[in-house]
């Protein structure tokens, strides 16, 4: 069994018995390696974002939080390539950290042959963009998930900088640029904030009220706006 296969199997073993723990010694016997090797494997999985934690004590061991993981998807090479390309397009977006973590997880559970084939195909694909823009503050994407009001420092197109509290409502991507769509309390209206012009984004303890975001409210006059998600036409 290769290390990649073992990492995949470790996750599935812990998923099968969750929330009960498995000890490193039990897992070592199961996979025919040393306890130290298992501990290194589990550490690698943890660092890649897989929600595994250790329970201390004589009956303790390693547990997997199944509520924060997906069952194995069994990607074909073409599917894995499509996911890899899609994640690569997010390298300059507010979702870059999550995209990097997701890519590590895909690599961790892909068998060696398929991974080599996918990597070879991916090496032939390049993304053409403008000069690399400045990165948006890390954690900006989490605002949609947490629902918290953000206090941002924003520089407009004329170079003027303001500090304002905004209620995040969504994102719009265009080329290399990503825009935070939010209700601006300073202007008392809907605004689009370009990610690379947001110098700082501090989440406040206040949760934003629920507002409905409609495509027509964005006032987009150029291009075609399309949604992303299950059931949406990717074309």
User: What's the pLDDT at 235?
Assistant: 45
Q: How far apart are CA 146 and CA 153, in angstroms?
A: 20
Same fold flag, 3-68 and 142-212: no
Using CA atoms, how far apart are residues 121 and 7, in angstroms rounded to an integer?
Answer: 23
pLDDT tens by residue, 187-197 = 999 999 998 89
Dist. CA 228–CA 233, nearest whole Å: 8
Average pLDDT over residues 102-118: 77
Whole-prediction pTM:
0.64
58 or 12, which is more confident?
Answer: 12
The Cα angle at residue 20 between residues 31 and 6, in degrees rounded to 5: 20
Q: Answer yes or no: is pLDDT of 149 > 50.
A: yes
Question: pLDDT per residue over 122-147, tens digit each?
Answer: 899 988 877 666 677 777 888 888 88
Instruction: Please give the Cα distance from 54 to 231 (Å, whole number).
Output: 38
Cis status, amide bond into 170, omega within 30 of 0? no
* Average pLDDT of span 147-170: 93
Yes or no: say if 148 and 105 are a contact pair by the CB < 8 Å rule.
no
Q: What residue ranges do the domains of the chain occupy?
A: 3-68, 77-122, 142-212
Work out the burial of residue 114: count CB atoms within 10 Å of its CB; fewer than 13 is exposed, 13-18 middle, 19 or more buried: middle
- Burial environment of residue 89 by CB neighbours within 10 A (0 to 12, 13 to 18, 19 or more): middle
Q: What number is the average pLDDT over the span 71-79?
A: 73
Handedness of CA 31, 2, 39, 42 (dihedral sign): negative
Into which CATH architecture does domain 142-212 fall? Roll (2.30)
Q: In the structure encoding, which two tokens stand for residue 178, read together?
A: 């990503």
* Cβ-based neighbour number of residue 11 at 10 Å: 21
Q: Which two tokens stand for residue 84?
A: 């890899």
pLDDT at 7: 85
Q: What is the pLDDT of residues 221-234, one digit of tens each?
A: 567 777 776 655 54
CB 152: neighbour CB atoms within 10 A? 24
- 97, 138 Cβ separation under 8 angstroms: yes
pLDDT digits (tens, 9 = 90+) for 76-105: 889 888 988 898 888 878 888 888 877 877
| Distance in angstroms (rounded) separating the CA atoms of residues 142 and 98 | 10
Summarize pLDDT for 17-68 with one digit per residue, the tens.
Answer: 888 899 999 999 999 999 999 999 999 888 888 889 888 877 789 998 877 6
**Residue 218: pLDDT over 70:** yes
Check if CATH label 2.40.50.180 holds for domain 3-68. no
The strand pairing partners of 183, in sequence order, are 167, 190
Give pLDDT, residue 198: 92
- Torsion from C-alpha of 37, 43, 45, 51, nearest 10 degrees: 130
111 or 55, higher pLDDT: 55
CA separation, residue 178 to residues 47, 175, 197 (Å)? 28, 8, 10
């Amino acid at each position: 069994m290769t290390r990649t296969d073992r990492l995949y199997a470790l996750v599935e073993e812990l998923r099968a018995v969750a929330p009960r723990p498995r000890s490193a010694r039990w897992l070592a016997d199961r996979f025919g390696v040393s306890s130290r090797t298992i501990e290194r494997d589990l550490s690698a999985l943890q660092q890649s974002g897989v929600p595994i934690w250790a329970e201390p004590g004589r009956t303790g061991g390693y547990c997997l939080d199944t509520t924060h993981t997906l069952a194995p998807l069994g990607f074909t090479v073409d599917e894995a390539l499509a996911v890899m390309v899609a994640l690569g397009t997010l390298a300059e977006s507010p979702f870059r950290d999550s995209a990097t973590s997701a890519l590590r997880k895909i690599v961790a559970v892909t068998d060696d042959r398929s991974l080599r084939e996918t990597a070879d195909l991916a090496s032939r694909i390049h993304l053409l963009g403008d000069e690399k823009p400045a990165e948006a503050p890390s954690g900006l994407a989490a605002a949609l998930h947490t629902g918290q009001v953000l206090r941002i420092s924003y520089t407009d197109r004329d170079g003027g900088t303001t500090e304002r509290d905004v209620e995040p409502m969504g994102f719009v991507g265009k080329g290399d640029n990503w825009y935070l769509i939010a209700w601006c309390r300073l202007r008392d209206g809907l605004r689009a904030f370009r990610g690379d012009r947001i110098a700082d984004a501090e989440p406040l303890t206040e949760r934003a009220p629920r507002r409905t975001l409609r495509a027509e409210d964005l006032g987009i006059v150029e291009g075609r706006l399309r949604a992303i998600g299950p059931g949406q036409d990717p074309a």
